Structure 1
Amino acid sequence: MHAPDATLSRDDAVVTAAPAAPATTASSPPRVRRTPPGAARVRRVVLALTLATLGAAALLLTWGVDGHWDFALPRRLETLAALVIVGAAVAVATVVFQTVTASRILTPSIMGFDSLYVLVATLIVWSTGAATALAMPPLALFALNTGVMLGASLLLFRAVIGDGTRGLYTTVLAGVIAGTLFSSISGFLFRVMDPNAFDVLMADLFASFTSIDTTLLAVGAVVLTAAVAGAFAMARRLDVLALGRDGAIGVGLDHRRTVMLAMALVAVLVSVSTALVGPVTFLGLLVANLAYRLTGTHRHGANLLVAMLVAAVALVLGQALLQHVLAFNGTLGSLISLVGGVVFIAMLIKESRR
């Protein structure tokens, strides 16, 4: 009488124990995703922008040459190099600065950093005089200006941005006031300085895209390479810094040291771009925010690269159209300021509605 029950019990035990086999599989470690999310999208964007950059460069170099390659090509290559260097410097500086300030509206130019560079350069030439400034090599003058700019920009960051607790509009207002003050002081010194010193200042420090000091261009390329390499090296720390001060400190990041290092990179990059072509106010705002939209990711390794490519395409293609279609009836900086100013106002309005 009890045998069937025992048999059923053994069968039940077997049936019950059978599903236990997959438990080993379930307890095995999950597969690790080696490719970051959105990596395929970033690769497509980078490829498209690289091709667009090469196409715009070919257009700038070859349009309207008409066989005079020995005359046109060297000058156009200098212009192309300046465009790429300035675009990369502004793009990287803006992405890093926006991470530090936790705002996609603020840029170094809007906060007065390029105006600060102009003021520092003006003070150096005004205080040393035209003869001393002429005797100084462009490299030494650039190094002196960049060193002073580095210290002054860190002080400006601490004064304007502070600990990040100020509201957006207060920060923007403080930056605009600081930039206006620096520009006003520079304008006053332009009027009272010796005309020879003024000529030295304009010739050596504030060239245009079509008139580049090749020595300064080479130095700018070297400094840019080092600064961009430093920015990519700290890309993971910037990813953590984007969590905010409390979040970054909570995961063990040395927040103060990272912020100071990031601001040093921003100051050096702003010095490079401003020394080559002067202030370009809204370029960083345009290329950084377009890069964020194209990548769809918060990873700085992707955003830095895409922002550099977007800036290169915008500047090279814009210069080609300005040079060959509009016949220099305007400047590239004015076109960027027009478009960027509208975008900046639109972003402020959008932010206020939140």
Structure 2
Amino acid sequence: MTALAAPRLSRPGLAAGAALVLLATLSLLVGVIDVSPARLMRDPEAWELIFASRLPRTLAAILAGAGLGVAGLVMQALSRNRFVESTTAGTDQSAAAGVLLMTILFPAAALPVKTLGAAAAALAGTSVFLAIAQRLPPSQPYLVPLFGLIYGSVIGSAALFVAWQTDLVQYFAVWTRGEFSGVLRGRYELLWISAVMVGVAWWAADRLTILSLGRDVSTGLGLDYAAMMRLGLVIVSVISALTVVVVGAVPFVGLVAPNLVTRLIGDDLRHAAPWTAFVGASLTLVCDLIGRVIRFPYEIPVGVVMGVVGALLFLWLLFGRRARG
């Protein structure tokens, strides 16, 4: 097991950092209200708009994208299946059902309390998914995401029925459709916990890599299989719940980003996790920018754009030639 060490900067790393800075700068400047550099030089109100709306939105997109990407990477290690992520495992649907129940039972509860309820529901839903998925034949990898889609649809349909009965359909739609237009200062800060979870995933990357080899191999190598499964479930559930509560479910990020990275640099989570976070954040920023400009001055939710872009990328990954390093 390799020792934990600070990552060294390389040319690809510097290029990736520069690309992310460029996307973040575009995210700060693109919008209905003009905040061009010329206006920033002469208008103090433009800076207030940047700090109150544009910067929180950009940070929320980066944190959500990076967190969902790493959560998908961990989820694929837990299930030993490359076609699994939070939206194809019932995690996001369970988180939305959890925050719905918290809203019904404790309507005056603060957002962090509702987030705890969503995380608990996501943990329970993901645990059930993994327990059933491990019983599916490993020779049929497509059965796992197919079961996950059906499983998540059942949970989502049941939660939607409850929302309809309690006149909360509009709220439920917000939690199941990712959108950054409502992100303001003071309403996104919980997503920084996702960054902490990404750090925890990188800290445990070597053990999660061993975990992906299966119960027998990992136990034979001295790994506490049950403890690492619990840690992985907590990482995935917390990130998914935070994203659902703050911005809503964003599909395909946890599916596409890990597959793009692992096809290029391999399955070692120690090396794959930072790149997966970068690809997830960049993909989310790009889709958010597309949603802002394609029907300017109106917006298309990032979940809708990501659904189209992510589906095309996934089909390319599925049927395209495997990249060779």
- The answer, yes or no, to whether TM exceeds 0.5 is yes
C-alpha deviation, 1:345, in angstroms: 4.3
Q: Pick the aligned partner of 1:125 from 89, 98, 103.
A: 103
CA distance 1:205–1:168, change in 2 (3 Å): closer
Within a 5 Å distance, the mapping from 1:51-70 to structure 2 comes to 51-63=18-30, 64-66=34-36, 67=39, 68-70=45-47
Q: How many residues align?
A: 306
Give the letter for the 1:210 counterpart: S
C-alpha deviation, 1:248, in angstroms: 1.7
C-alpha deviation, 1:73, in angstroms: 0.6
Residue number in structure 2 paired with 1:209: 180
Within a 5 Å distance, the mapping from 1:231-246 to structure 2 comes to 231-246=201-216
More helix by share: 1
Report Cα offsets for 1:110-147 as digits up to 9, x if no partner.
12211111122223323x2xxx41x2111222223223
Residue 105 (str. 1) matches residue 83 (str. 2): yes
Report Cα offsets for 1:299-343 as digits up to 9, x if no partner.
212211011111222222332343245414533221211122234
Report Cα offsets for 1:123-176 as digits up to 9, x if no partner.
3323x2xxx41x211122222322333234323321334487473232222111
SS at match of 1:252: coil
Tell me if the contact between 1:98 and 1:107 (Cα under 8 Å) persists in the aligned partners. yes
Residue number in structure 1 paired with 2:165: 192
- Measure, in 1, the Cα distance between the counterparts of 2:149 and 2:271: 30
Q: How large is the RMSD of aligned CA atoms in angstroms? A: 3.0
Give the letter for the 2:49 counterpart: A
Residue number in structure 2 paired with 1:150: 123
- Measure, in 2, the Cα distance between the counterparts of 1:245 and 1:97: 15
- Measure, in 1, the Cα distance between the counterparts of 2:60 and 2:68: 12
Give the letter for the 1:149 counterpart: A
Percentage of identical aligned residues:
22
SS at match of 1:109: helix
Q: Pick the aligned partner of 1:73 from 50, 61, 67.
A: 50
Q: Which runs of 5+ in 1 are unaligned?
A: 1-32
Q: Which runs of 5+ in 2 are unaligned?
A: 40-44
- Measure, in 1, the Cα distance between the counterparts of 2:206 and 2:239: 20
Report Cα offsets for 1:37-72 as digits up to 9, x if no partner.
xx99x8333221111000111112134414251343
Tell me if the contact between 2:252 and 2:307 (Cα under 8 Å) persists in the aligned partners. yes
Report Cα offsets for 1:183-233 as digits up to 9, x if no partner.
211221222113xx5566667997730112644522221x22331221111
Residue 300 (str. 1) matches residue 269 (str. 2): yes
C-alpha deviation, 1:272, in angstroms: 1.4
Q: Pick the aligned partner of 2:92 from 114, 137, 142.
A: 114
Structure exhibiting the larger radius of gyration computed from Cα positions: 1
Residue number in structure 2 paired with 1:139: 112
Residue number in structure 2 paired with 1:290: 260
What is the TM-score when the length of structure 1 is the normalising length? 0.76
